[in-house]
Amino acid sequence: MGENGEDGCAREATWIKTTAQLTEHESRSTVARRCRSGRYVQVLRGVYADAEPRGIDRCRAVSLWRADATFSHATAAWLWGLIDEPERVHVTVPRSTQLQCPGWLAVTRRDLPEPGSWAFDLPVVGIARAIVESIPMLEARTAERVVDEYARSDERYEELLECCHRDAGCRGVSLARRIIERAARRTASEAERVVARELGRAGYHLEVNRAIGKFWCDLVDEWSGVVVEIDGRGPHSERSVFRNDRRRQNSLVLDGWLVLRYAADDVFDDLDEVVREIVRTVSSRRRNRRRTGAR
């Protein structure tokens, strides 16, 4: 059967063992013969399985192969539940280590600057380091989502920046720092986060969840006097919330603010148009206020 079962589908590994474990009950020649027949698979040097391992089992095989390997980069982000499983397994080993490894395994040689953690009984870098290391490997919007969701508190935000500081000069760190510094923090919904990120990409960094008087506003640009409100799919339609939103909007308008309101559905259906309208409005009012000297 080789690597496939009778139905033609890839078999899943049911065990992963080292040479030492296998040779407790069978000879090395038996192990070699069973590898040639396809009954065993040599995953890595000195590590075997009854089928090519996938997912977490592949990581366990790597740990059996190298006890000094720490899962890092995109694999660490996956083990922490931040992203989908990457195609390759990423590990970091001490700088002095010399290795030959298969194409599915990416090895970084460096001495990690801080102790690691554990996830699924596997040695892994901490969450902040996993995020910083994986950012260059992710699509921009995925990287931004991961950063925004993690960096909601000041402590976590500073943790990410400190990791960038420690790794200054390493590949991809400048990009990671830019994305982290522009984090859309403290947004109350995914729609608000997406709008804040897209505005930042366009060079317009509005304040998030800013208090104006007794009211909290989703996005605020004080220079232009613009407030952006994103109405959710459900709560904003409730009568009490609807009335409070209108009172807040009237108060802001009477104080000289321009309020732009968008439904969350509009954000997800036509994000580009929503952002263009906000940028046009903010830009125009900034120019007008600059001419008149108003702030």
For residues 257-281, give the mean pLDDT.
Answer: 95
Q: For residue 233, what pLDDT band results from cuts at 50, 70 and 90?
A: low
CATH number among 3.40.50.1820, 3.40.960.10, 1.20.1740.10, 3.40.50.720, domain 190-292: 3.40.960.10
Q: What are 12-32's pLDDT values in tens digits?
A: 889 999 999 999 999 999 999
For residues 151-160, give the mean pLDDT.
Answer: 94
Stated as kind and residue range, the H or E segment containing 164 is: helix 154-166
- φ, ψ of residue 294 to 5 degrees: the values are -85, 145
State the Cα–Cα distance between residues 139 and 137, nearest whole angstrom: 7
Greater confidence, 10 or 116? 116
Q: What are 57-113's pLDDT values in tens digits?
A: 999 999 999 999 999 999 999 999 999 999 999 999 999 998 888 999 999 999 998
CB-count burial class (<10 Å; 0-12, 13-18, 19+) for 178: exposed
Distances (CA, A) of 156 to 63, 130, 174, 244: 29, 13, 18, 33
For residues 33-44, give the mean pLDDT.
Answer: 95
Given a cut of 60, whether residue 6 has pLDDT beyond it is no
Given a cut of 80, whether residue 2 has pLDDT beyond it is no
Q: For residue 9, what pLDDT band results from cuts at 50, 70 and 90?
A: low
Task: Tell me if 295 sits within 8 A of 289, measured CB to CB.
Answer: yes
Amino acid 239: pLDDT: 61
What are the structural domain ranges in the chain? 1-50, 66-181, 190-292
Amino acid 290: pLDDT: 83
State the Cα–Cα distance between residues 295 and 291, nearest whole angstrom: 11
Q: For residue 293, what pLDDT band results from cuts at 50, 70 and 90?
A: low
